[in-house]
Amino acid sequence: MSTGTSTDRTADARAGSPSAEVAELLDVLRGYLDLAPQLSLPPRAFTSPELYELERTRVFGRSWVLVAHRDELAEPNSYVSVDIAGEQILVTRDADGALHGMSPICRHRMMPLVEPGATGRADSFTCPYHLWRYGLDGRLIGATHMRRNPDFDPKDCRLPAFAVEEWHGFVYVNLDAAAAPLAPELKRISGDLTNYRLDEMAQLGSWSEEWACNWKVAVENAHENYHVMGFHPETLQQSTPGGSDTDVRVDSPWALRLLVPFTEPQEAYALPLTDTEKAHLYGIFVFPAASLAAAGEMVIWLSLIPQTIDRTLVRGGILVPRAALEGADLDEMRRQAETYAGMINSEDRNGLEAVQRAVGSRFAARGHLSPKEPGVVAFYQNLARALLRADDDWPGGL
């Protein structure tokens, strides 16, 4: 066991040398790649500050994270800001329609240009502290009272850029500006969802809330339909029962597809859905945080983004074919859609917050998984791959 303080160990994790506790947890995770034991994670995986520190850098520091639907960034000069595991990001659509991802931390003395969670429209961003001004592409376009500092060249000053990519209307950000593109990873899923015509869908309703649980508690829940009988007896259990046969297909290291049969096939008017599509819910998960459920002519997306070790931002929306909105009472449709999604979300939230209260118990322990939870093991495998991926700054990678 490590004899260092918690602060020392966190500093160790930052510096790149794993503590004994993290090394042990990583060994457990490595085991999922070799033997795929049908066991849940050790409780410490949900409470270890050192593991969380590694997740911040090795998972969320270099993975594609879904942050918004295109409709939230439809207008020129619109923006969305989200906190991803302690790193605030700002995504903008400039006047020419191009998307940009960047850090909104002012290059003067570190004031954030906007609050996390802020959305809206702006021609430029003025820092509230000393009024430096930045364009929507992150370039500095004005700095007050700086002329007499000979070392300062405004041309060299810009906000750090992140990678940003739009996949069928979903806006993803990667803090690693040199990240490999996302679309090739999702090619097979694009094919699966052709008939849902994601590019022609409109966001009818949306939400952004915070759940008091570790992000993995929320994400593993999204990888299985087994919990539906417990958490959603009056809602989802009626349409996609927890006991039904779920087909899990792992597509790429980072994406997987769940196929869950409906008790009754869905109707389709605006989309050319096949009988198989009408008969199944298509659940897609893109590691580490994005989930998408195509259910007949409705698509629900969720992104489960850590804010701290025990708080998760849940951002999501409901999409419908644009054609289905023509002549409809939009407010009423939105109200119904948000009420339904709100009900399901609060069922998950109540349950998962209870799990979070239990993971710190001295009597919490790893449990056996059901054959209905292969998606959970696939998530653990992705987590292991992401945490153990070799790189220059950390020994002991794969």
- The least distance separating ligand FES from the CB of residue 127, rounded to whole angstroms, comes to 3
Binding site for ligand FES (CB under 6 A): 106, 108-109, 111, 127, 129-132
- The least distance separating ligand FES from the CB of residue 87, rounded to whole angstroms, comes to 18
229 vs 235: CA distance, rounded Å: 9
348 contact choice in ligand FES, Fe ion, none (CB below 5 to 8 Å, kind-dependent): Fe ion
- Based on CB atoms, which residue is closest to ligand FES, 130 or 139? 130
- Based on CB atoms, which residue is closest to ligand FES, 108 or 334? 108
Q: Which residues pair with 248 in a beta bridge?
A: 258
The one-letter amino acid code at 341 reads A
127 contact choice in Fe ion, ligand FES, none (CB below 5 to 8 Å, kind-dependent): ligand FES
- Based on CB atoms, which residue is closest to ligand FES, 46 or 132? 132
Buried b (16+ CB within 10 A) or exposed e, 258-269: bbbbbeeebebe
- Based on CB atoms, which residue is closest to Fe ion, 174 or 240? 240
Query: By CB under 5 A, is residue 348 in contact with Fe ion?
Result: yes
Q: How far is CA 133 from CA 128, 156, 391, in A?
A: 9, 14, 36
Q: What is the enclosing helix (H) or strand (E) of 65?
A: strand 65-69
383 contact choice in ligand FES, Fe ion, none (CB below 5 to 8 Å, kind-dependent): none
Query: By CB under 5 A, is residue 220 in contact with Fe ion?
Result: no
- Based on CB atoms, which residue is closest to ligand FES, 111 or 180? 111
Look at the alpha carbons of 136, 322, 206, 288 in this order and tell me if their dihedral is positive or negative: negative
- Based on CB atoms, which residue is closest to ligand FES, 98 or 111? 111
Q: Please give the backbone phi and psi of residue 272, each rounded to the nearest 5 degrees, phi first.
A: -85, 60
- The least distance separating Fe ion from the CB of residue 221, rounded to whole angstroms, comes to 6
The CA-to-CA distance between both ends of the chain, in Å, stands at 23
Lateral strand order in the sheet of 140-142:
125-126, 133-134, 140-142
132 contact choice in ligand FES, Fe ion, none (CB below 5 to 8 Å, kind-dependent): ligand FES
The one-letter amino acid code at 116 reads P
- The least distance separating ligand FES from the CB of residue 114, rounded to whole angstroms, comes to 12
What Rg, from alpha-carbon coordinates, does the chain have?
Answer: 22
The two tokens of residue 56 are: 């911040």
Size of the residue set binding Fe ion (CB under 5 A): 1
- The least distance separating Fe ion from the CB of residue 232, rounded to whole angstroms, comes to 6
Stretch that binds Fe ion, among 27-35, 298-306, 324-332, 344-352 (CB under 5 A): 344-352
196 vs 230: CA distance, rounded Å: 30
- The least distance separating ligand FES from the CB of residue 109, rounded to whole angstroms, comes to 4
- The least distance separating Fe ion from the CB of residue 348, rounded to whole angstroms, comes to 4
- Based on CB atoms, which residue is closest to ligand FES, 97 or 128? 128
Burial of 71 (0-12, 13-18, 19+ CB in 10 A): middle
Which of the 8 DSSP states describes residue 58? I
Phi-psi region of 364 (alpha: psi -120 to 50; beta: other; left: phi over 0): beta
108 contact choice in Fe ion, ligand FES, none (CB below 5 to 8 Å, kind-dependent): ligand FES
Q: Is 68 helix (H, G, I), strand (E, B) or coil?
A: strand
Stretch that binds Fe ion, among 12-20, 66-74, 128-136, 340-348 (CB under 5 A): 340-348
- Non-local (6+) Cβ contacts of 273 within 8 A are 195, 196, 266, 296, 297
- The least distance separating ligand FES from the CB of residue 152, rounded to whole angstroms, comes to 12
Query: By CB under 5 A, is residue 373 in contact with Fe ion?
Result: no
Binding site for Fe ion (CB under 5 A): 348
